[in-house]
């Protein structure tokens, strides 16, 4: 019994979850600073994995879409944190790895100007 619990705990903590952070260029997102963007912003997100991280094999998170859905025109000095909270580890352990929630936080700086709710956002042309 002790060996089984050890295997389950190890499998839960060493799961194969992958989140790809990408951009569709719908709003400007940059790792560089922008003097017009002084408001510190933190956006929380979560993706769910199942069966020890095998389904789905990965999630795509579009940073610019997350920023746009939050109502901001853009984000600069972007930092992305992936995390496993104690609660998520406990849930993974109690479900024997069948359900694996994973959280992330996108931080950066935005301007005070917010996007109008009804205005559709078009991709930025390069």
pLDDT digits (tens, 9 = 90+) for 59-69: 888 888 888 88
122 has pLDDT over 80 = no
Domain ranges within the chain, ordered by starting residue: 2-110
pLDDT digits (tens, 9 = 90+) for 57-106: 778 888 888 888 888 888 888 888 988 888 888 888 888 878 888 889 98
CA distance 41 to 63: 13
Instruction: Report strand pairing: 19-22 vs 59-62.
Output: parallel
């Amino acid at each position: 019994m002790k060996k089984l619990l050890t295997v389950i705990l190890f499998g839960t903590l060493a799961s194969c979850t992958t989140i790809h952070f990408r951009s569709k260029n719908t709003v400007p997102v940059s790792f560089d600073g922008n003097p017009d963007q002084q408001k510190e912003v933190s956006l929380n997100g979560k993706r769910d994995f199942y069966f020890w991280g095998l389904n789905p094999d990965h999630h795509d998170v579009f940073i610019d879409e997350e920023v746009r859905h939050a109502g901001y025109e853009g984000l600069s000095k972007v930092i992305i944190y992936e995390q496993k909270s104690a609660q998520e580890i406990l849930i993974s352990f109690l479900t024997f790895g069948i359900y694996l929630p994973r959280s992330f936080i996108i931080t950066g700086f935005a301007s005070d100007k917010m996007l109008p709710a009804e205005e559709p956002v078009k991709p930025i042309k390069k």
